[in-house]
Amino acid sequence: MEALHQLAHGFVVALSPLNLFWAFVGSVLGTAIGVLPGIGPALTIALLLPVTTQMNPTGAFIMFAGILYGAMYGGSTTSILLNTPGESGAIMTALEGNRMARRGRGAAALATAAIGSFIAGTLATIVLTFAAPTVAELAFVFGPADYFALMVLAFTSVSCVLGASRVRGFVSLFLGLALGVMGIDAQTGQARLTFGSPELLDGMELVVVLVGLFAVGETIYVASRYGGGQLLLNPLAGGVWMTREDWRRSWKPWLRGTLLGFPIGALPAGGSEIPTFLSYMVERRLAPKREEFGREGAIEGVAGPEAANNAAAAGVLVPLLTLGLPTSATAAILLAAFQNYGLQPGPYLFLNNPDLVWGLIASLYIGNVMLLVLNLPLVGIWVRLLLIPRPWLYAGIMVFGIVGVYGLGGSELDLALMVVVGLAGYAMRVYDFPIAPALLGMILGPMAETQLRRALAIGQGSPWTLVESPLSATILVLAVAVLLLPTVLRRLQPA
């Protein structure tokens, strides 16, 4: 079993004191931002990018993975205790989890969420361990036309599945593509869309766009609609951790959640909203005590979605590591991080940097254990983070944003662009444009263009090259199907 050998080697890498330290830092940071509103794993990783260029890439990615997973755990804590999901994958958890907490069963809800997350995360990582090298082998079969088709599929799915309307999703995508195209063209050295500014020759900095869209845009939006909410802490006391019956009721939802979460997380635009929603629906249908749903709070409704959430997070790593294809906003930023180090995820990464890849996968197991330990006993501490007054919290987010943007190259132009992008992010929130497609467009766009030009060069200009190989033809048909699906669904339903 080649994979097991590699994994064993990966554990040697991941268990080094320095990498353990980074895993710990990532997990703590991830849990903290999962708990706090206004800042998520995508923005945090983006802010850390300039800092981590000084670091060994293995340690950096171990830390990023810790942040990614930690945010899942942290988000469910606030979901259950305070009915405020820390991130979109935790919305379903809040439904039943908060009801349980209000009935004094908060500790059990937290326990089932944490344990379910651990089990799902570990199982999903096991599948990742064996699936990744196999899928990576597949990538050798992919030619430029196939890669281009795959990216078109990712673009289409992200734009069509998320958000209120496809037009808005595509506007967001094309905005991202437009930003990504600015700067010097890699293949001809030609300056494009730089508006005569020498600073823009390198293109728009990713951190500027990320801080603008997420930190500044979010802060402007929340500030303008702030109600001055007062947070009530649900007491954890009065709850027993999990009883035997709780365990009995939870283990099947854990497994079902994992089965739902992992494959959907691996699909383009899979994300965590769909698998958690599906898991909730499934558990509701299958639960013996169905009447508890929506009233006292059914533990299955926490166990399933939480497992789905974490399994989806591991699933996202499959296409990212094996094909270099990001299927969520955070994955797109991780891809950008790889590019920062001059690394290209895909089969060559498995060949040339086995330490990095397998060390990362091994540290996912370790991270899950760390997070279980961090989250169960220390829940009280995390929740106290929410006592930070909101004005200071968002003010702090702005300050960190400036660190990230100015710390890069000391450019006031970057700061000004940050505000401009922030205003765009504000408008997107006000008028309900999804933000993830813009990110995907900006990060994946240049790569898609390279593959397109390569494919056309090989095919000597014939656009048919793009559909010649059965692989690319199938993928493009899928993309068209995704595009047309909402229209078809609407026709099938009576108005």
Partner 1 sequence: MSSRPTEAEPAPDTSSTGTRPPPRPSWLGVAVIALGLVWLYGALSLPQAATYAVVGPGFFPAVIGAGLVILGVLLLVAVARGERFEPQDAEDADATRAPSRAAFWTTVAAGVAPVFVIRPLGFPIAAAVTFALTARAFGSRRTLLDLGVGLLLGIACWLLFSRLLGLSLPGFPPLGVA
Binding piece for partner 1, criterion CB under 8 A, among 1-9, 103-111, 181-189, 350-358: 181-189
Interaction of residue 178 with partner 1, rule CB under 8 A: yes
Interface with partner 1, residue 196, by CB under 8 A: no
Nearest to partner 1 of 86, 324 (CB atom) = 86
Contacting partner 1 (CB under 8 A), which of 21, 140, 241, 431?
431
Stretch that binds partner 1, among 1-9, 330-338, 384-392, 485-493 (CB under 8 A): 384-392
Rounded least distance, CB 189 to partner 1, Å:
9
Contact set for partner 1, span 289-328 (CB under 8 A): 294-295
**395 counts as binding partner 1 under rule CB under 8 A:** yes
Asked if 181 and 445 count as a contact pair (C-beta separation under 8 A), the reply is yes
Q: Which is nearer to partner 1, 126 or 181 (CB)?
A: 181
Which 229-288 positions form the footprint of partner 1 (CB under 8 A)?
A: 229
Measured torsion, CA atoms of residues 48, 54, 55, 61, in degrees rounded to the nearest 10: 40
Separation CA 251–CA 115 (nearest Å): 10
**Which of 407, 477, 487, 488 is in the footprint of partner 1 by CB under 8 A?**
407
Window contacting partner 1 (CB under 8 A); options: 3-11, 66-74, 224-232, 349-357? 224-232
**CA–CA separation, 70 vs 35, rounded Å?**
10
Terminal CA-CA length for the chain: 55
**104-123: contacts with partner 1 (CB under 8 A):** none
Burial of 283 (0-12, 13-18, 19+ CB in 10 A): buried
Q: Which stretch binds partner 1 (CB under 8 A): 11-19, 129-137, 214-222, 366-374?
A: 214-222
Pair 156, 448: CB distance under 8 Å? no
| Residue 234 C-beta: closest distance to partner 1, Å | 15
| Least Å from the CB of residue 379 to partner 1 | 19
The residue with tokens 């597949």 is 138
Nearest approach, Cβ of 372 to partner 1 (angstroms)?
A: 24
DSSP letters, 233-302, are PPP-TT--S--HHHHHHHHHHHHHHHHHHHHHHHSTT-TTHHHHHHHHHHHHHH-TTGGGTTTT--THHH
Residue 385, interface with partner 1 (CB under 8 A)?
Answer: no
In the set 171, 264, 337, 361, which binds partner 1 (CB under 8 A)?
171
Asked if residue 451 binds partner 1 (CB under 8 A), the reply is no
Nearer to partner 1, 79 or 469 (CB): 79
Among the listed residues 406, 401, 396, the one whose alpha carbon sits nearest the alpha carbon of residue 425: 401
CB of 93 closer than 8 Å to CB of 79:
yes
> Count residues contacting partner 1 (CB under 8 A)?
89
Least distance to partner 1 from the beta carbon of 415, Å?
5
CA distance 205 to 171: 20
Q: Judged by CB under 8 A, does residue 222 bind partner 1? A: yes
> Facing residues of 191 across strands?
184
- Which amino acid is present at 415? L
| Closer CB to partner 1, 224 or 243, in the complex | 224
| CA–CA gap between residue 135 and residue 89 (Å, rounded) | 26
**Cβ atoms of 50 and 407 closer than 8 Å:** yes
CB of 403 to partner 1, least distance (A): 5
Instruction: State how far the Cα of 309 lies from the Cα of 271, in Å rounded to an integer.
Output: 9
Residue bearing tokens 């906003």: 329
- Note whether 12 binds partner 1 by CB under 8 A: no
Query: Which of 193, 373, 477, 484 is the binder for partner 1 (CB under 8 A)?
Result: 193
Decide whether 4 or 416 has the Cβ nearer to partner 1. Answer: 416
Rounded to the nearest whole angstrom, what is the least distance from the CB of residue 4 to partner 1 in the complex? 37
User: How far is the C-alpha of 62 from the C-alpha of 64, rounded, in Å?
Assistant: 5
- Within 44-103, the residues that bind partner 1 by CB under 8 A are 50-51, 54, 83-88, 90-92, 94-95, 98
- Exposed / middle / buried, residue 461 (Cβ in 10 Å: 0-12, 13-18, 19+): exposed
Candidates 378, 399, 481, 488; binder of partner 1 (CB under 8 A) is 399
